[in-house]
Amino acid sequence: MSTELCGLELEHPIVNASGTFDAIAALRTFGDEVLERFPFAAFVSKTITLKPRQGNPPPRLWETAGGLINSIGLPNKGLAGYLEHDLPVLARLPVPLIVNVMGFTREEVATLVAAVAERDEVAGLELNVSCPNVESGLIMGADPRETAALVHRVRPLTAKPLIVKLTPNATDPAAVAHAAQEAGADGVSLVNTLRGMALHPRTGAPWLGARTGGVSGPAIRAIALAQVAQVAERVSVPVVGMGGVETGAHAHALLRAGAAAVAVGTETFRDPRAGARIAAELADIGRDRRVSARL
Ligand SMILES: Cc1cc2nc3c(=O)[nH]c(=O)nc-3n(C[C@H](O)[C@H](O)[C@H](O)COP(=O)(O)O)c2cc1C
């Protein structure tokens, strides 16, 4: 079950999806048991931005058929707060730490990458490109040229693995993935949430404080599988697949579609140990296959 992802040795192919497992809160709640039986093979931290953010106004969640719409809005302590308060705690985790960063200009992303990458505790970086570049008005990850320009800017800043987290809200995610690879990305991950909306059942006004949010969970599984397959056909760098994974069979499907590793997000709200369970189910599937191949 051990696997390699962009040069990182992983005990199994299941990692967490950024923003859906708060390892610091888990440590506070469950104590050192979290370190002894950490459910994921690597930890991907929630997106950090240069300045602290409060996040979006409430309500921030809507339960939809087979999933969630969230408009959390990336609340975080900002770069300085993360480096001072969170990183020393996350460094205690028994698995490689991948830090997810996002900026509103290329220079902001460059500052984040340079500051995060120089820390020994950090094994790799994930670039969240699902946000607008305030200078061009374009969503960084929706346009192959924007993505390429961003990766070109930050690639020379670190030799550590750089994974570009693609947005599914793009006309051609495979073209964006290819542009990221050509500009020097070591891997790509997908899918982030799909844009969605819910109305207040009585007033008809938008339910979420930010009007729209991102759909995740089983509702997007088939879309994620199609996009992962399409991207994996187009690039030679490793692909981290995610979107609606609840079981080992779902993870297996993404691996069959070409993913090198699988991230689990929304399912961890229901079952915080989902990562370990899904890894065990995946191992069972592998064993069953070997047995049936011998029969
Ligand atoms: C509540 C919530 C918060 C999220 N926060 C982030 C985030 O901070 N950065 C990021 O790149 N993706 C974030 N995501 C997207 C997930 O990492 C993942 O791409 C998406 O939810 C699809 O996987 P899933 O269906 O297994 O949840 C968030 C998703 C949810 C549901």
Ligand 1 binding pocket includes 19 (Cβ within 6 Å):
yes
Q: What is the pLDDT of residue 291?
A: 67
| Sign of the C-alpha dihedral computed for residues 90, 108, 125 and 196 taken in this order | positive
Give the pLDDT confidence of 78-133 residue by residue, as tens digits. 999 999 999 999 999 999 999 999 999 999 999 999 999 999 999 999 999 987 77
Please state, for a pLDDT cut of 70, what percent of the chain lies above it: 98
Q: Residue 119 domain-assigned?
A: yes
pLDDT level of residue 139 (50, 70, 90 thresholds): confident
Give the pLDDT confidence of 229-257 residue by residue, as tens digits. 999 999 999 999 999 999 999 999 999 99
Ligand 1 binding pocket includes 260 (Cβ within 6 Å):
no
Of the candidates 95, 51, 93, 96, the residue with the CA atom closest to the CA atom of residue 75: 51
Alpha-carbon distance of 110 to 238, in angstroms, equals 23
Output the pTM of the full model.
0.96
Give the pLDDT confidence of 207-221 residue by residue, as tens digits. 999 999 999 999 999
Alpha-carbon distance of 38 to 21, in angstroms, equals 11
Give the number of residues written for the chain.
295
Q: Residue 288 domain-assigned?
A: yes
Alpha-carbon distance of 108 to 77, in angstroms, equals 15
Based on the structure, what is the number of domains in the chain? 1
Q: In the 8-state DSSP scheme, what is residue 185?
A: -
Q: Estimate the crossing angle of helix 221-234 against helix 173-182, to 10 degrees.
A: 40
Q: Residue 110 domain-assigned?
A: yes
Ligand 1 binding pocket includes 161 (Cβ within 6 Å):
no
Q: What is the pLDDT of residue 134?
A: 73
Give the pLDDT confidence of 144-185 residue by residue, as tens digits. 999 999 999 999 999 999 999 999 999 999 999 999 999 999
Of the candidates 265, 172, 240, the residue with the CA atom closest to the CA atom of residue 13: 240
Output the CA 19–ligand 1 centroid distance in Å.
5
Q: Residue 199 domain-assigned?
A: no
The token pair that represents 242 in the structure block? 């995610």
Alpha-carbon distance of 44 to 256, in angstroms, equals 23
Active-site residue set: 131
Residue 295 pLDDT exceeds 80? no
Give the neighbor-by-neighbor strand order of the sheet with 61-64: 61-64, 67-70, 212-216, 194-197
Ligand 1 binding pocket includes 242 (Cβ within 6 Å):
yes
> Residues 6 or more apart from 175 whose CB is under 8 A from it?
144, 234
Give the pLDDT confidence of 46-87 residue by residue, as tens digits. 999 999 999 999 999 999 999 999 999 999 999 999 999 999
Closest atom of ligand 1 to CA, residue 245: 26
pLDDT level of residue 1 (50, 70, 90 thresholds): confident
Q: What is the pLDDT of residue 288?
A: 83
Q: Which of 22, 86, 193 to mutate to test ligand 1, by most ligand atoms within 8 A of the CB atom?
A: 193
Asked if 40 and 95 count as a contact pair (C-beta separation under 8 A), the reply is yes
pLDDT level of residue 294 (50, 70, 90 thresholds): low
Phi and psi for 205 in degrees, rounded to 5? -80, 160
Domain of residue 270, residue span: 3-55+73-194+216-294
Q: Residue 134 is part of a domain; what is its CATH number?
A: 3.20.20.70
Q: What is the pLDDT of residue 131?
A: 79
Ligand 1 binding pocket includes 167 (Cβ within 6 Å):
no
pLDDT level of residue 135 (50, 70, 90 thresholds): confident
Q: Residue 208 domain-assigned?
A: no
Task: Find the mean pLDDT for residues 36-42.
Answer: 97
